[in-house]
Structure 1
Amino acid sequence: MTRHIRYAAAFCALLLAALLVNAARIQVVQAGAYDGNPANRRQDFARYGQPRGDILVGGRPVTGSKDTGEHLRYERTYAQGPLYAPVTGFSSQVYGTTFLEHAADGTLSGTDPMLSPFPLWNDLTRARSPGGDVVTTLDPAAQQAAFRALGNRRGAVAAIEPATGRILALVSTPSYDPGALSGNGPAVTRSWLGLNGDPNKPMLNRAVRQTYPPGSTFKVVTAAAALDAGVITSVDAPTRSPDPYTLPGTTTALRNGSGGCANASLRKAFERSCNTVFAKLGVDVGVTDMASTAHAFGFNDTDLRIPYSVAQSTFDTSVDRAQLALSSIGQYNTRATPLQMAMVSAAVANGGQVREPYLVERTTTARGATVSTAGATPARQAMYPSTAMRLRELMRDVVEHGTGVNAAIPGATVGGKTGTAQHGVDNSGTPYAWFVSWAQGDQDPEPKVAVAVVVEDAAAHRRDITGGGMAAPIARAVMRAVLGS
């Protein structure tokens, strides 16, 4: 009898050991697979079971959380949603997250281990810390000025602080309300389908995710390359540039939109935006030096993040001389985001140094304790300081008595460059109106803001579409807001 009891006890112990091994296999070895199984809603219940942290602009939250009382309890809300949509993105229970909501999801959702004083305990108990906050670099006055000035037009504005790279404004129009995508009901699906089917693409972040031919605003880069390479030694000397200019190796004649460009000095050519002068300068500089200067400004950079990714701005390095001439006036395959062109203007304002732009100043716990800070990255020298000084002078001339007079601000020094970019088959599309600029108040020791504006659908007769007429007033509104704040 005792022997049978021992057998039964041994069998029970074996069953218990097997049960423990199986439990360990499920909870340790296969835990990741079960957590990631779409049928497992525990992660969703945990994710939406507490309020999400906030995104702050000017010290005030522009996001919030609404208690719905449902299984997925908290939905995201947005204050002034269309104004900040290119920055916040959306957080949807159905469609996921974008932009800052995505890049800073760990902080906002409370899953970042840095938010907890005892992260190992959270791992063991599967507990979540309260969602932390993300403090942005945005200037609310500049953001609102850009949004109002663009109005109903398709376009974008990017403004940065030259000395640090802090992004002060990031606007894309038309925009949308991210709150329409927050929940999980039929209205969310309808909103998603409507936004994606809208030909104006309101969810496209034109400031950082759309590239355009920069047109004559790229002449800032070409002028920098020519001055750095020694092709131009005096901004007031004739450039020996014919008008019209026959593109090398072709019979195609390049012409100008204004007179007085034949053999014009760099100063006059910049002020009048002479295509012939800058096309020839690009050829004289050569593709190697042109590409090197463009790269120093940020073109062809595949790794730029602010912290979400930015579309690559491009300068084609595999071109013949005729194509190089067109590339040097911001046409052919040259493409840039508004943020990239703001970086170009900022480099001129900052003595030739480029600072990587960034959008997040710091992240904090729910109680306000700092978790991480950003700060300016090491500077990259895009051109000689002497070249930057000359370009600042040339950009001031454009605003004071050239094509950029609509950007002038009383009581401030403003530099700018206009651009009108052709596009489409045989240049049949409505031209893009560009303006890049920087501004320094009379009491400021250095320029406070650099801006780039692009307007896609300028509401005017084709021949009257210019960066100075359409985009410069928008840039002026943004610069004035920054100087005023």
Structure 2
Amino acid sequence: MTKYIRRAAALCALLLVALLVNATRVQVVQARAYDANPANRRPEIARWSQPRGNILVGGRPVTGSKDTGEQLRYERTYRDGPLYAPVTGFASQVYGTTLLEHAENPLLDGSDPMLSFLPLWNDITRDQNAGGEVVTTVDAAAQRAAYRGLGARRGAVVALEPATGRVLTLVSRPSYDPELLSGNGPSVARAWARLNGDEGKPMLNRAVRQTYPPGSTFKVVTAAAALDAGVVEDVDAPTRSPAPYTLPGTTTSLANEVEGCENASLRYAFEWSCNTVFAKLGVDVGLGAMRDTARAFGFNDSGVRIPFSVAPSSFDTHMDRAQLALSSIGQFDTRATPLQMAMVTAAVANGGTVRAPYLVERTTTADGRTVSTAGTRTFRQAMTSTTARRLRELMLGVVTDGTGGKARIRGAAVGGKTGTAQHGLGNSGTPYAWFIGWAQSHDALEPEVAVAVVVEDADAVRGEISGGGDAGPIARDVMRAVLKRAG
């Protein structure tokens, strides 16, 4: 009898071990597979069972959560939703997450292991941490100035801190209220259909996801290439540039919008935006050097993240000389995001060094313990410091003596470059108005802000649209907000 009891006890022990092994396999080894199974609603229910962590601007949350009492209990709320939509994106119970809500989702919903002191224990017990907080680099006053400046016009504004790469402003218009997409009722589906069907594309983040022909603002890149290559040594010497300029290998003539461009110096050509001078300079520099300089500024790089992805700006690497001439004045198929053009002017302001742009200053737990911090990182060296110093001088001239006079700020040095970009079939579209620039208070040691503004539908007759007149005042107001200047 004792023998059978021992056998039964051994069998029970074996079964107990088997149960423990199977429970471990299900709860630990295969937990992620079960979590990811579309038929399993428990992760989604758990995700919305507590408030999400907040996204902060200037120390104040621009997001929140409300208790609905439903199975998916907490819905996302937004303060000044349209103003900050290009920063936050949306967190929807139906349509997922975008932008910062997506890039920082594990931290915001509490699933990031870094929020716990004992991450492995949480995996075993399935405990959920409170959502963490995301502290952004955005300057609230500058953000409002950009949003107000664009008004009802389509366009985008990006401002950076040149020395660090901190994103101070990220505005896209038209915009939308992300809270319209937060829940899961019929109104959310209707809002989704309406927003996606809107011809103004309010959910398109024009600041980082839309590329435009940069027009004459690209002449900063061409000037940098010409100065670094030694094609231009004296910015006040004649450039031996005919006006009009016949594109190489063609009978097509390129003209200017202003007088005095024939054989103009680089200074005059930069201040008054002579197309013929810069088209010829690009050809003289050559495709290889132009391509390398554009890449050093950030063009043709698909890996830029801030932390969400940025559409790559492009400078064609296979062109004939006529196409190179047009690309050198920001036309042909050269394309740039507003963020990219802000990086261009920030490089000039920062002595030739491009800092990697970033939007998140730090992340924390719900009780304020730091989870991660951002640091300044060098992206590339776009030009020599000597070339950067010359370009700062040229950009100052654009504002004091040239086409960018409306960007002046009392008590500050302001450098800029205006641009008007043609587009559409046969250049039939309303020209895009551009302004890029930087500003430095007279008592500051270095430039404090670099900005890029593009206006898609400038409020003027076609022949009167200009970067200086339409985009320049917006840039001025943004820079003034960063510098905290009243006028």
Q: Which residue of 2 aligns with 1:310?
A: 310
Q: For residues 379-437 of structure 1, give each alpha carbon's deviation from its aligned partner in whole angstroms, at most 9, with x where no partner exists.
A: 63211111111111111111112111111111111011000000111111111000000
State yes or no: 1:279 paired with 2:270.
Answer: no
Question: d(CA) in 2 for partners of 1:294 and 1:56?
Answer: 34
What CA deviation, in whole Å up to 9, does each residue of 1:335-371 have, x standing for no partner? 1000100011111111111111110000111111111
Residue 3 of structure 1 deviates from its aligned partner by 8.3
Amino acid in the other structure paired with 1:81: G
Rounded to whole Å, the distance in 1 between the matches of 2:107 and 2:246 is: 57
Look up the equivalent residue of 2:194 and give its one-letter code. Answer: G
Number of the residue aligned with 1:399: 399
The residue type equivalent to 1:465 in the other structure is: I
For 1:2-151, list aligned pairs within 5 A: 19=19, 22-151=22-151
- Could you tell me how far apart the structure 2 residues matched to 1:14 and 1:391 are? 79
Q: Which residue does the alignment assign to 1:187?
A: 187
Distance of 1:401 and 1:120 partners within structure 2: 64
Measured after TM superposition, the shift of residue 230 of structure 1 is 0.4
Describe the shift of the 1:385–1:6 C-alpha distance in structure 2 as closer, same or farther (beyond 3 A).
closer
Q: CA deviation at 1:26?
A: 3.4
1:228 aligns with 2:214: no
TM-score, reference length from structure 1: 0.97
CA contact (8 A) 2:235 2:266 kept: yes
1:321 counterpart letter in structure 2: R
The equivalent residue for 1:375 is 375
CA deviation string 1:232-257 (max 9, x = no partner)? 01001100100110100111111111
1:13 Cα shift? 6.5
The equivalent of 2:478 in structure 1 is 478
Counterpart residue number, 2:413: 413
- Residues 260, 47 of structure 1: CA spacing in aligned structure 2 closer, same or farther, 3 A cutoff? same
Residues 245 and 21 (structure 1 numbering): CA distance in 2 closer, same or farther, change over 3 Å? same
Aligned-residue CA RMSD (Å): 1.6
What does 1:79-478 align with in structure 2 at a 5 Å threshold?
A: 79-378=79-378, 380-478=380-478
Deviation at 1:378, TM superposition (A): 2.8
Over 3 Å counting, the alpha-carbon distance change for 1:132 and 1:330 in structure 2 is: same
CA–CA distance in structure 1, aligned partners of residues 86 and 457 of structure 2: 19
CA distance in 1, matches of 2:231, 2:96: 52
Question: Residue 27 of structure 2 contacts residue 124 of structure 2 at CA under 8 Å; is this kept in 1?
Answer: no
Separation in 1, partners of 2:437, 2:145 = 16
Identity of aligned residues (%): 74
For 1:452, what is the secondary structure of its paired residue?
Answer: strand
Aligned-partner Cα distance in 1 for 2:200–2:206: 11
Native 8 Å contact 2:224 2:387 kept in 1? yes
Pair 313,379 (structure 1): closer, same or farther in 2 beyond 3 Å = closer
Q: Letter of the aligned partner of 1:428 in structure 2?
A: S
How far residue 45 of structure 1 moved from its aligned partner, in angstroms, is 1.5
Q: Structure 1 stretches of 5 or more lacking a match?
A: none
User: Please, which moves more after superposition, 42-51 or 209-218?
Assistant: 42-51
> SS at the partner of 1:232?
coil
The CA distance in 2 between the partners of 1:389 and 1:191, in whole Å, is: 50
Separation in 1, partners of 2:209, 2:50: 32
TM-score, L = length of structure 2? 0.96
Whole-angstrom distance in 2 between the partners of 1:63 and 1:27: 34
Q: Distance in 1 between matches of 2:188 and 2:364?
A: 31
* Cα separation, 1, equivalents of 2:30 and 2:380: 47
3-state SS of the aligned residue for 2:156? Answer: strand
For the Cα contact (< 8 Å) 2:299–2:340, is it kept in 1? yes
Q: Which runs of 5+ in 2 are unaligned?
A: none
Q: 1:75 to 1:347 in 2, by over 3 A?
A: same
Deviations 1:426-484 (A, max 9, x none): 11111100000000111111111000000001121111111011100100010110110
State the distance in 1 between where 2:134 and 2:13 align.
53
Measure how far apart 1:72 and its partner are: 0.9
